[in-house]
Amino acid sequence: MPYKEKEIIKKYFSIGEVANKLNVNTSQIRFWEKEFEILNPKKNKSGSRKYTAKDIEIIEKIYRLLKDDKFTIDGARKEIIKKNYKSETDIIIHLRKIKEKLISLKEKL
């Protein structure tokens, strides 16, 4: 039985690789990171972004909403939030967490 090497599956991708895949500029992806809270790739010690398959999936959703479906940034943001939360309860839980963070930040001032 011949030896068969395992297929190497890449876990992290650079911003350049992601930009090439979608045929957009890296600056466009950085802009989307600022506009869409859900898009938050890991960064290494030098600050280079490392995108996972999940991050790329989110970027592809954003791309489709903005480029193909002609949503505005605000409209795409609302659409993604709507799709990510399965119920009103999930949204309330998320908003409570945000409120707690804001209160914590206020107390540190």
Which pLDDT band holds residue 5 (cuts at 50, 70, 90)? confident
Give 43's strand partners: 49
User: From CA 86, how far away is CA 109, in angstroms rounded?
Assistant: 35
Q: Each residue of 15-64: pLDDT tens digit?
A: 999 999 999 999 999 999 999 988 889 988 888 999 999 899 889 999 99
Class (C level, CATH) for 15-108: mainly alpha
Task: Specify the pTM.
Answer: 0.68
Task: Give just the sign of the alpha carbon dihedral 21, 24, 25, 26.
Answer: negative
User: What number is the average pLDDT over the span 67-93?
Assistant: 80
pLDDT of residue 26: 95
Domain layout of the chain by residue ranges: 15-108
User: What number is the average pLDDT over the span 67-91?
Assistant: 80
Is residue 34 within 8 A of residue 27, CB to CB? The reply is no
